[in-house]
């Protein structure tokens, strides 16, 4: 249903879609079904998987925290690609994620089905050895200028589990805190700086969308004992996000709240004092006349009214 709504939101055929995958922790404080202790987050939690395309939510999938962070991501990507290409056969689809989603079988699947990918890859001894001369140069430049040094390079790399070499972009950085190399793997064409700064780093905005849903719309309120009840709660939160995101995208374009967080939309457009009058023929809502955003409220209502 969510994907169908996403497809229906386009008036024209899109040329490119970037699918952002990310997992996050959902802290639990009881003994709910499926809760486990996670060493990285250092507490008991669930590990939900989210998929966004820009600001629009496509998937919110509750998972136990004892699994690999990329668990089921491959199957979800496959289902999304098939449905999106059924609607738009020529659309270019790009899979984007952090190093938790760098899995050989997933990258191979993307290559087989002509899906672009740009994914983080954890640094290791081999990658650090291959970029050692660049790191040494960055250190020398920093010592000479006493200013942060940051350069991007391209290299060919294959992990032991890979059947082929792939393009890796290396970000070589040296500051007063020392060397900080980072790596991404991609099958996209373009200059290293553009791929890293403009394309890969843009995935950071997805974390803001997850925070919107968890902090403002209570996606982390998974306090039921039973697993499916908590998944249902996550779905309800997701539907609330889709509703507010649609209002922001469709009805608030060009207004002062066009880029407001959903918590701001709730506060200024929804949490308005009102009196409800009901008789046998109709129900009347009398909103507070002193509401400072009443003009914007009526603007939104007019935009969302059919016809």
pLDDT band, residue 290 (cuts 50/70/90): confident
Task: Give the pTM.
Answer: 0.90
Range of the domain at 290: 272-304
Lowest mean pLDDT among 145-149, 162-166, 198-202, 271-275: 271-275
* Same domain flag for 182 and 294: no
Q: What's the confidence (pLDDT) of residue 185?
A: 97
CATH of the domain at 152: 3.90.350
Smallest CA-to-CA distance from 110 within 194, 14, 188 is with 188
256 lies in some domain:
no
77-82-84 Cα angle (round to 5): 95
Please check the confidence at residue 285 and state whether its pLDDT lies above 90.
Answer: no
The contacts of residue 2 (CB under 8 Å, 6+ apart) are 57, 58, 59, 238, 242
* Same domain flag for 295 and 245: no
150 lies in some domain:
yes
Please check the confidence at residue 4 and state whether its pLDDT lies above 90.
Answer: no
* Same domain flag for 63 and 158: yes
- Summary mean pLDDT of the chain: 92
Q: What's the confidence (pLDDT) of residue 182?
A: 95
* pLDDT, tens digit, 9 for 90 and up, residues 93-134: 999 999 999 999 999 999 999 999 999 999 999 999 999 999
The Cα-based distances of 3 to 39, 66, 218 in angstroms read 33, 28, 22
* Same domain flag for 116 and 215: yes
Mean pLDDT on 247-269: 92
Asked whether 252 and 297 are in contact (CB, 8 A), the reply is no
263 lies in some domain:
no
Q: How many domains does the chain have?
A: 2
31 lies in some domain:
yes
* Same domain flag for 204 and 287: no
* Same domain flag for 53 and 178: yes
15 lies in some domain:
yes
Q: Where are the beta strands (DSSP E) in the chain?
A: 16-23, 26-27, 36-38, 43-46, 49-53, 56-61, 92-97, 116-121, 149-157, 166-175, 178-179, 182-186, 274-278, 283-287
Return the higher-pLDDT residue of 208 and 1. 208
12 lies in some domain:
yes
DSSP, residue by residue, 108-136: HHHHHTT-EEEEEE---HHHHHHTHHHHH
* pLDDT, tens digit, 9 for 90 and up, residues 62-97: 999 999 989 999 999 999 999 999 999 999 999 999
* Same domain flag for 155 and 278: no
* Same domain flag for 14 and 157: yes
pLDDT band, residue 291 (cuts 50/70/90): confident
Please check the confidence at residue 307 and state whether its pLDDT lies above 70.
Answer: no
Smallest CA-to-CA distance from 238 within 50, 90, 101, 91 is with 50
264 lies in some domain:
no
* Same domain flag for 284 and 243: no
* Same domain flag for 291 and 233: no
* Same domain flag for 170 and 292: no
* Same domain flag for 300 and 195: no
């Amino acid at each position: 249903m969510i994907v169908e709504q996403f497809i229906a939101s386009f008036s024209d055929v899109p040329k490119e879609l970037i699918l952002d995958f990310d997992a996050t922790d959902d802290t639990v404080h009881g003994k709910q079904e499926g809760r486990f202790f996670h060493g990285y987050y250092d507490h008991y939690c669930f590990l939900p998987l989210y998929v966004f395309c820009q600001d629009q939510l496509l998937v919110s999938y509750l998972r136990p925290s004892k699994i690999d962070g990329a668990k089921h991501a491959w199957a979800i990507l496959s289902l999304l690609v098939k449905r999106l290409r059924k609607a738009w056969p020529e659309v270019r689809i790009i899979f984007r994620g952090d190093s938790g989603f760098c899995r050989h079988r997933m990258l191979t699947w993307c290559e087989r089905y002509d899906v672009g990918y740009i994914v983080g890859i954890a640094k290791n001894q081999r990658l650090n050895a291959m970029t050692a001369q660049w790191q040494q140069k960055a250190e020398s430049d920093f010592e000479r200028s006493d200013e942060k040094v940051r350069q991007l390079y391209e290299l060919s790399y294959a992990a032991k589990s890979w059947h082929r070499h792939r393009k890796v972009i290396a970000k070589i950085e040296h500051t007063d805190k020392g060397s900080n190399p980072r790596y991404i793997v991609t099958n996209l064409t373009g200059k290293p700086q553009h791929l890293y700064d403009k394309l890969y780093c843009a995935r950071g905005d997805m974390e803001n969308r997850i925070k919107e849903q968890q902090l403002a719309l209570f996606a982390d309120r998974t306090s039921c004992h039973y697993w499916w009840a908590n998944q249902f709660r996550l779905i309800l939160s997701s539907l609330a996000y889709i509703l507010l995101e649609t209002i922001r995208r469709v009805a608030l374009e060009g207004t002062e709240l066009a880029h407001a967080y959903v918590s701001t939309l709730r506060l200024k457009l929804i949490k308005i004092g009102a009196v409800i009058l009901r008789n046998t023929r109709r129900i009347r809502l009398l909103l507070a006349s002193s509401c400072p955003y009443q003009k914007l409220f009526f603007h939104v209502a007019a935009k969302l009214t059919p016809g």
